Amino acid sequence: MESFCQTMKVMPGATPSRVLVVDDDSQYRALVVRILEGLGLEVDQAPDGLAALEQYSQGRRQDEGYDLVLLDLSLPVMDGRECLRRLLEMDKKARVLITSGHDPRYSFAAGEQDLAAGFLQKPFDLKEFLAMVQNLLTKPL
């Protein structure tokens, strides 16, 4: 994990990657935010799908878009599936990692699975989580 942390740490003068964590569980959100900020990433958070869309839109207007969105499926106000669809309408290049307490791949029809950049079942293994985040933040669009 040490080498991963060194890879993800932001180099001096470089712009850190921006991540939006969307989950209605405030303790889970706080933990994920703390992990990602510890890697030198800029992290914002939203408690539901509608708030996530508002933050994502605001970031785009300020020309400070997000490099990755971690999106839970079970959200109040607007569920994760609808939020994903709207995020991709707003930004076709949005990278969204779906997270869920149930295997998130089974929450989508076959064609819908391709909308997300990845799936991760909670509770997740920290190494697996970090590897997925690193892969999604470093692979070209």
Question: Which residue ranges make up each domain of the chain?
Answer: 15-138
Contact 55, 20 (CB under 8 A): yes
pLDDT 10s digits, 19-61:
999 999 999 999 999 999 999 999 999 999 999 999 999 988 7
Dihedral sign (CA 50, 51, 54, 56):
negative
Residue 76's identity, in one-letter code, is P
Dihedral sign (CA 60, 62, 67, 72):
negative
Helix, strand, coil shares of the chain as percentages rounded to 5? 45, 15, 35
pTM: 0.87
For residue 97, give both structure tokens: 């990692």
pLDDT the model gives residue 114: 81
Architecture of the CATH domain 15-138:
3-Layer(aba) Sandwich (3.40)
Query: Once rounded to an integer, what is the mean pLDDT over residues 111-128?
Result: 87
The DSSP string of 3-41 is HHHHHHSPPTTSPPPEEEEE-S-HHHHHHHHHHHHHTT-
